[in-house]
């Protein structure tokens, strides 16, 4: 028996018009990349000039040169010594330390306290969010404390 050539293709059959060549290249438009299946390359700022020496940074379009000092947070108490010691306003820091030690908080002795003006900085590690909340409450209740900055890391669940 010979195959018939007069058969009409079914609508679901691919006659070659349903397939097209896959897209090539890349795009910086994430929607086109998703629809066309091409690699997405995010747009980047152009480098206007390379650094001339080791101390200079490259000039990049769309950015302003800045000092490293401008990148520091103004509201943060900064250490004054290179040894990792925290600056202290002795009386207020001592009051907060005493309040933490006199409470029944287990982690109170592992918290480092620094004070500047009426701002208190707490650093260290605690086991849970509940312990941290209790420590923050105790430090905030000390007379003379207006602001408590929390840099405490939670190690447990």
pLDDT of amino acid 79: 44
Tell me which DSSP letter residue 152 carries: E
pLDDT in tens, 2-33: 766 777 766 666 666 555 666 678 888 888 88
CATH number at residue 127: 3.30.1340.30
Would strands 111-116 and 59-60 be described as parallel, antiparallel, or unpaired?
A: unpaired
pLDDT at 42 over 60: yes
102 located within any domain: yes
97 located within any domain: yes
pTM of the model: 0.43
7 located within any domain: no
Q: Where are the beta strands (DSSP E) in the chain?
A: 47-49, 59-60, 111-116, 119-126, 147-154
123 located within any domain: yes
134 located within any domain: yes
Give the count of domains, the chain. Answer: 1
62 located within any domain: no
DSSP 33-58: HHHHT--B----PPEEE--SSTTPPP
pLDDT at 155 over 60: yes
φ, ψ for residue 137 (rounded to 5)? -65, -45
**What is d(CA 119, CA 113) in angstroms, rounded to the nearest whole number?**
11
135 located within any domain: yes
Owning domain of residue 123: 90-154
pLDDT in tens, 74-123: 554 444 444 444 444 788 888 888 888 888 776 555 788 888 888 999 98
113 located within any domain: yes
pLDDT of amino acid 13: 61
């Amino acid at each position: 028996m010979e195959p018939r050539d007069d058969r009409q293709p079914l609508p679901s059959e691919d006659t070659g018009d349903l397939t097209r060549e896959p897209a090539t290249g890349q795009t910086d438009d994430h929607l086109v990349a998703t629809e066309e299946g091409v690699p997405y390359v995010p747009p980047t700022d152009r480098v206007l000039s390379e650094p001339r020496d080791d101390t200079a940074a490259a000039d990049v379009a769309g950015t302003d040169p800045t000092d490293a000092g401008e990148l520091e947070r103004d509201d943060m108490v900064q250490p004054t010594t290179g040894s990792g010691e925290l600056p202290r306003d002795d009386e207020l820091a001592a009051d907060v330390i005493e309040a933490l030690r006199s409470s029944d908080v287990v982690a109170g002795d592992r918290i480092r306290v620094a004070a500047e003006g009426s701002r208190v900085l707490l650093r260290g590690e605690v086991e849970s969010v509940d312990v941290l909340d209790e420590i923050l409450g105790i430090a905030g209740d000390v007379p003379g404390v207006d602001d408590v900055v929390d840099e405490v890391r939670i190690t447990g669940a």
